[in-house]
Amino acid sequence: MDLNELLNIHEETCEKCKTMMIRKNKDYTGGNTATDIFANFNSAKIIGMHPVKGLLIRVIDKIQRINSFANDKKLSVSDETVYDACEDIINYAILAKAMLMKERKEKEDYRNGKNVLPD
């Protein structure tokens, strides 16, 4: 593999991840009328956990799935590939970044006297 092949994989993967994020966000946040794009992760607050920590637990699940594939050279659940798990991790990283950026902005807005309370 050369750099051009790697960059092609990057581009194709990012496009696939973006499409998947759009589809999954509807499923996990309440459908087309949902107003909280992080609803499923924010539910971690119910048990006193920061939403990003809840997200990281899901990343660990994907890492374990990839680890199992590396060990056994196969997966028991055939409708989700090891590539799917890699793409899920990419999307989780983007979601974590977005959640942290949102949290930082809300805190800055609050400190600057805007009527926004951080979660």
Report yes or no on 97 lying in a domain. yes
Q: Which two tokens stand for residue 96?
A: 């974590």
Select, from the ranges 8-17, 25-34, 103-112, the one with the highest average predicted confidence (pLDDT). 8-17
Report yes or no on 29 lying in a domain. yes
99 contact partners, CB below 8 Å, separation of at least 6: 38, 41, 51, 52, 55
Report yes or no on 101 lying in a domain. yes
pLDDT at residue number 115: 66
Provide the domain count of the chain. Answer: 1
The pTM score is 0.86
Q: Which two tokens stand for residue 57?
A: 């637990």
Residue 58: band (very low, low, confident or very high) from pLDDT cuts 50, 70, 90 = very high
Report yes or no on 63 lying in a domain. yes
User: In the predicted model, what is the mean pLDDT of residues 87-95?
Assistant: 97
Report yes or no on 53 lying in a domain. yes
Cβ proximity of 65 and 75 under 8 Å: yes
How many residues are given for the chain? Answer: 119
| Structural domain of 26 | 3-111
Report yes or no on 118 lying in a domain. no
pLDDT at residue number 42: 94
